[in-house]
Amino acid sequence: MAQQETEAQRAANHPSLSTLEREAPVNESPLHGIWALTNRDLKKWYKDSLMLLLSLIQPVLWLGLFGKAMNFGAIFTGSSFNIPGLNIPKQVLNSLASQVMQQTFGTTDYFSFLAVGMLSFISLFMAMSSGNSLVWDRRLGFLNKELSTPLSRGVIPLGKVFAAIVRGLTQAAIVLVIAVLLGLSTSHFSVVGILGTFAALFLMVMGFSAFFVMLAVRSTNQDTQIMIVNLLNLPLLFASNAMFPAKFMPGWLQPVVQVNPISYATDISRQLLLGSSGMASLGFDFVYLGSFAVLLTVLGMVVSWRFLSR
Amino acid sequence: MVLVGLVDSSTSGQVASSEERPLPQPPEEVLKIEGLTKSFDGKTNAVDNVSFTVFQGEIFGFLGPNGAGKSTTINMLTTILRPTTGRATVCGHDLIREQTAVRRSIGVVPQESTADEDLTGIENVLLCADFYGIGRSISKPRAQELLELVELSKEAERKVITYSGGMKRRLELACGLINRPRLLFLDEPTLGLDVQTRAAVWDYIRRLKDEFRMTLFMTTHYLDEADNLCDRIALIDHGKILRVGSPSELKASLGGDIIEVEVQSDPSDLSQAIATIPNVVEVRKSDSDYRIKTKLGEETAPAIMDALRLAGARVTKISISKPSLDQVYLEYTGRSIREEHAEAGSATPRKGMMGMRRRR
């Protein structure tokens, strides 16, 4: 409103400025610019063919190496069991093996178990890079430019968060397709299930990228950011059920798994895509993840509002 | 009228809330700073109680050595940094309470290139337009117009990473103008540019002032540039304003022109005789030379000639030199070379690579 008054003042008092001041209606919503910022970050990603290629290759490598190399199912098959004095028929062994697998991983093959965990994993990695991107903006002066425009300070982290979400979900979609090609069981797939899975990943990336942007809000050193990411990524991942079922983890680790949002995103995905029995109900999972996402995003906006400028 | 505007802007909280009131006259002061202070560590002031005023339609130069507080001041006036104390009114809006309105009315052309190098020239300008919430139907033709102004139309579709330094600077100018600001901040607009690009930038600056009646606030290290372009200049050092005035006022403040006279060797001291001539401020004698500081050099010189002739001395050489802005600058800021630690906390990325340490 104050703005409109100024425009009117100017037009009235400086007729000679009319050509210059032929003012355009501007979007004054405090949230304007989110899409512009998101799109800017995304352009840097999809217009750079090498970046795009690498981000496509990365999930393939992970799936191939982790998913296929860690072939837990093979432990029970073949002639590996030969207990003297007991002549256990092959069928019994095989059915025992699939029982064990089902009980441990909630599905008969470890690849399917891991492939779904990999969706969380790859999305998490995208979320973690958002802080570093903010540090670069600061160092290259782009952040100062943003700060001198009417962009709201709270919107700046949101741009990073949404870009991370789009990139994370894109990569997750690629992982899912490749995993299906490599043998992920699709017997439980449904449209709702897939949408639900991506909704869960959306919330998880949202919360984590807001968290990492928050850590970077005053930082001027991208090495620090890389250190933080390296420090946190694997612990965060392994202290969740993404790679291994929580119920077989030591007692001291279980509480950590229970609060780790990655566990909830993965739990949702496994329930929806594989039909596994989960560690909590879908409803609880979504409420937990949703609260995590909203809480950290709001916190990220507040922190940026307060600390982006000194 | 000016006062009315001032009063209104200082109580702008009320202005904004009551739509029924008649529109206030716009203040002639585009920028009014009162006691602006910034301290990064709570002990020393990078900018110390700075006050000055910039008027509508002028080119205001902001000069000072490295680390004097120029960038910190600009960063405060462009809402990038928060002032520790003091206040300012920018285009009639309170710097602290009406940040968004301030940001809408100003343009910033930073010292270093801040364009996104992975995007093309036009994408960068459009991105800036988005930051102001300007719709595509308006921002597109405007961006093309601006790129034409800075002669980058042909390169508009090229990624900025392929641009030369001069092209980046011109692109920065186009970005700074996208919201048609009333007040444009230029931080060392010609630093590191070749002679041609410098001349082109000077030309843009003059056009912005003459054709668009824009107010420009610029810093520079080139004193000839300041002398040529600026209507008024503020000299700042150690965070304090030393002097504000037009280039000729500043030069006059040195005491005026210097007349140097050489007389045929004559042991008698004629200093007294010269000192009594009107307009003469100071006389110094060395051997047979006199160095005379005077106002209105052209008019005083003949009088000196007459006086010397009357005293029986024969003038063999005479020269009048006008003080340059360089002399003014050195007179007020001294000759010592500055380290930049005074501005270590400023948020200018160029220095920032080293200077912007993380503060905990």
For residue B192, the model assigns a pLDDT of: 83
B41 touches chain A (CB under 8 A): no
- Residues of chain B numbered 101-140 and touching chain A (CB < 8 Å): 101, 103-106, 108, 110, 112-116, 118-119, 123, 127-128, 130-135, 138-139
Q: Are the Cβ atoms of B23 and A146 closer than 8 angstroms? A: no
Q: Which chain B positions have a beta carbon within 8 Å of A307's beta carbon?
A: none
Its ipTM equals 0.79
Please tell me which residue of chain A has the smallest CA distance to B83.
A310
Q: Which residue has the tokens 């430019």?
A: A145
| Chain A CB within 8 Å of residue B257 CB | no
Tens-digit pLDDT profile for residues A74-131: 666 555 566 677 777 777 777 777 777 777 777 767 888 888 988 998 899 889 988 9
Containing A111, the helix (H) or strand (E) segment is: helix A110-139
* Banded model confidence at residue A73, pLDDT cuts 50, 70, 90: low
Using one digit for the tens of pLDDT, what is the confidence trace for A179-217? 898 888 888 899 999 999 999 999 999 999 999 999 999
Q: What are the start-end ranges of the E strands in chain B?
A: 29-38, 47-55, 59-63, 85-90, 93-94, 106-109, 183-187, 215-219, 232-237, 240-245, 257-263, 280-286, 289-294, 315-321
In this prediction, residue A245 carries a pLDDT of 85
E strand or H helix that includes residue B138 = helix B136-149
Contact pairs from chain A to chain B, CB under 8 Å = 152
Residue A232's H or E segment, with its range, is helix A222-238
CA angle A85, A87, A89 (to 5 degrees): 165
Place of tokens 């200018």: B348
Token pair for A50: 């090498």
DSSP state of B184: E
How far is the alpha carbon of A24 from chain B, nearest alpha carbon, in Å? Answer: 7
At A59, the pLDDT band (50, 70, 90 cuts) reads confident
- Which residues between 199 and 218 in chain B have a beta carbon less than 8 angstroms from any beta carbon of chain A? 212-214
Which residues of B are less than 8 Å from A40 in CB distance? 116, 119, 127
The pair of structure tokens assigned to B347 is 């948020």
Beta bridge partners of B25: none
- Asked if the Cβ–Cβ distance from B352 to A139 is below 8 Å, we say yes
Contact A26 B114 (CB under 8 A): no
pLDDT in tens, A213-233: 999 998 888 898 889 998 998
B residues 162-191 lying closer than 8 A (beta carbon) to A: 175, 179-180, 182
Tokens describing residue A261:
């949002």
Instruction: Classify the C-alpha dihedral B110-B113-B116-B120 as positive or negative.
Output: positive
Which backbone phi and psi does A308 adopt, to 5 degrees?
A: -65, -35
Q: Are A160 and A114 in contact (CB under 8 A)?
A: no
Say which amino acid occupies B3: L
Measure in Å the smallest separation between the Cα of B183 and chain A Cα atoms. Answer: 13
What's the helix, strand, coil split of chain B in %, to 5? 40, 25, 35
- Please, what's the b/e burial string for B53-69 (b: 16 or more CB within 10 A of its CB; e: otherwise)? bbbbbbbbbbbbbebbb
Residue A164's Cβ-count burial label (10 Å; 0-12, 13-18, 19+) is buried
How far off is chain A from B19, nearest CA to CA, in Å?
9
**Angle subtended at Cα B352 by Cα B350 and Cα B358, rounded to the nearest 5 degrees:** 165
Contact criterion met (CB < 8 Å) for B100 and A48: no
Q: Contact at 8 Å (CB) between B35 and B13? A: no
Rounded distance, CA B236 to CA B7, Å?
Answer: 28
Of A6, A40, A150, the CB nearest to B133: A150
B-chain residue closest to A216, CA distance: B358
Angle (nearest 5°) at CA B353 between A211 and A137? 40
pLDDT at residue A17, rounded to an integer:
34
Residue A99: what pLDDT? 77
Low-confidence ranges of chain B (pLDDT < 70): 1-27, 265-267, 335-360
Instruction: Say if CB B323 and CB B251 are below 8 A apart.
Output: yes
pLDDT at position B211, please?
85
Best residue in A148, A215, A223 to probe B by mutation, most B CBs within 10 Å? Answer: A148
Given B12, B23, B134, which is nearest A12 (Cβ)? B23
Q: Do B62 and B218 touch, CB atoms closer than 8 A?
A: yes
DSSP for residue B345: T
Closest chain A residue to the Cα of B145, Cα to Cα: A20
Rounded Cα gap, residues B172 and B90, in angstroms: 22
Pair B72, A109: CB distance under 8 Å: no
Six-digit token string for B74:
């600009």
Q: What is the pLDDT of residue A81?
A: 61
Give the angle B168-B204-B229 at the CA atoms, nearest 5°.
115
Instruction: Collect all residues of chain B within an 8 Å Cβ-Cβ radius of residue A6.
Output: 91-93, 101, 104-105
Look at chain B and count its residues.
360
Distance CA A132, CA A141 (A): 14
Q: Which residue of A has its CA nearest to B146?
A: A20
Per the DSSP assignment, residues forming a β-bridge with B290 are: B261, B285
Nearest-by-CA chain B residue for A141: B114
| pLDDT, position A306 | 87
Q: Name the 3-class secondary structure at A154.
A: coil
Q: Can you tell me the distance from the alpha carbon of B259 to that of B295, in angstroms, rounded to the nearest whole number? A: 10
- Residue B26 touches partner A, C-beta closer than 8 Å: yes
